């Protein structure tokens, strides 16, 4: 009787080494793909966050400048704070500024009540914020804006920085629906010797150097004389019956004269 012994199923050492090598190469390849995908995802997350906050800040600042009544800044000088005067009494003075790596919007009412709102959150860091006002003699003021944000992370794979450089112009003339006054008494001028306003129209009383007005007077001056620079000008008054107007003047000897003129 012949007895046949069949070959037992299994892997030889060479086959096992080959399989281990293939598995190791596949594992390294898959891990590399996973690492790259993770890095790309981290990068995209940080970039997306930066783009969203840049867009929000840009839209907000653009809206504020375009609807402002005055860009209350010196022209041609870069500053770290954007100051605007608004027509609404609920935000009479509006400021945008950076502090402790956060960009803030501050609105001050005409009662000097301040409301501060952050425009960026803790996900980003404000590296730089500066604005420059440019005067346009034939048009409206333009504000140049420079803003740089970085993603707030300790992971070097997620670090990213984005910058915004733009210019925004006011789109309407100044219109106020509340009182307009300087922030410090007797500290600002209306026009200059070289840039004068053309005409001024008032429905009430005009006062110079006075703290209160007497009833019935339209023009009140205190603490100084009222002078005319041109010898051919003076004060025009109307007769009681309203039929004629006279300009009051003086001769070289100081005698008061009157000349008929067209009534204003």
The mean predicted confidence, pLDDT, of the chain is 83
- Specify if 181 maps to a domain: no
Handedness of CA 37, 38, 39, 41 (dihedral sign): positive
If asked whether residues 34 and 155 sit together in one domain, one would say: yes
Q: Does pTM top 0.75 for this prediction? A: no
151 SS3 class: strand
- Specify if 184 maps to a domain: no
Model confidence pLDDT, tens digit, residues 212-254? 776 677 888 777 788 888 888 888 888 999 889 998 888 888 8
If asked whether residues 218 and 143 sit together in one domain, one would say: no
If asked whether residues 54 and 117 sit together in one domain, one would say: yes
- Specify if 193 maps to a domain: no
Examine the pLDDT at 211 and tell me if it is beyond 90: no
Examine the pLDDT at 7 and tell me if it is beyond 60: no
Last residue of a domain, one of 150, 169, 188: 169
Residue 32 — pLDDT band, cuts 50, 70, 90? confident
Q: Could you tell me the residue range of the domain that residue 129 belongs to?
A: 27-169
Last residue of a domain, one of 122, 150, 169: 169
If asked whether residues 53 and 112 sit together in one domain, one would say: yes
- Specify if 127 maps to a domain: yes
Task: Give yes or no for a contact between 59 and 77, defined as CB atoms under 8 angstroms apart.
Answer: no
Task: Give yes or no for a contact between 124 and 49, defined as CB atoms under 8 angstroms apart.
Answer: yes
If asked whether residues 61 and 165 sit together in one domain, one would say: yes
CA neighbor of 173 nearest in space, from 84, 70, 92, 72 = 70
As a whole number of angstroms, the distance between CA 227 and CA 136 comes to: 34
Q: Work out how many domains the chain is built from and give that number.
A: 2
Model confidence pLDDT, tens digit, residues 44-98? 888 899 999 999 999 999 999 998 888 888 889 999 999 998 877 667 789 999 9
């Amino acid at each position: 009787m012949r007895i046949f012994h069949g070959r037992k199923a299994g892997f030889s050492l060479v086959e096992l080494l080959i399989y281990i090598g293939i598995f190791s190469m596949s594992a390294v390849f898959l891990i590399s793909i996973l690492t790259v995908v993770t890095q790309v995802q981290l990068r995209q997350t940080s970039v997306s966050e930066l783009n969203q906050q840049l867009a929000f800040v840009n839209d907000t600042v653009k809206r504020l400048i375009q609807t402002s009544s005055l860009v209350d800044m010196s022209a041609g000088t870069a500053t770290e704070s954007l100051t605007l005067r608004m027509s609404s009494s609920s935000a009479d003075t509006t400021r945008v500024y950076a502090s402790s790596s956060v960009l803030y919007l501050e609105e001050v009412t005409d009662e000097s009540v301040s409301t501060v709102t952050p425009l960026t959150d803790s996900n980003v860091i404000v590296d730089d914020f500066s604005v420059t006002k440019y005067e346009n003699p034939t048009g409206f003021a333009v504000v140049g804006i420079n803003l740089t944000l970085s993603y707030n992370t300790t992971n070097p794979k997620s670090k990213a920085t984005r910058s915004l450089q733009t210019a925004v112009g006011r789109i309407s003339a100044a219109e106020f629906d509340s009182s307009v006054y300087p922030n410090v008494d007797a500290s600002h001028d209306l026009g200059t010797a070289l840039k004068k306003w053309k005409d001024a129209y008032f429905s009430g009383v005009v006062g110079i150097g006075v703290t209160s007005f007497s009833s019935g007077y339209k023009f009140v001056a205190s603490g100084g004389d009222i002078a005319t620079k041109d010898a051919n000008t003076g004060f025009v008054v109307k007769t009681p019956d309203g039929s004629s107007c006279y300009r009051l003047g003086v001769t070289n000897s100081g005698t008061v004269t009157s000349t008929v003129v067209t009534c204003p």
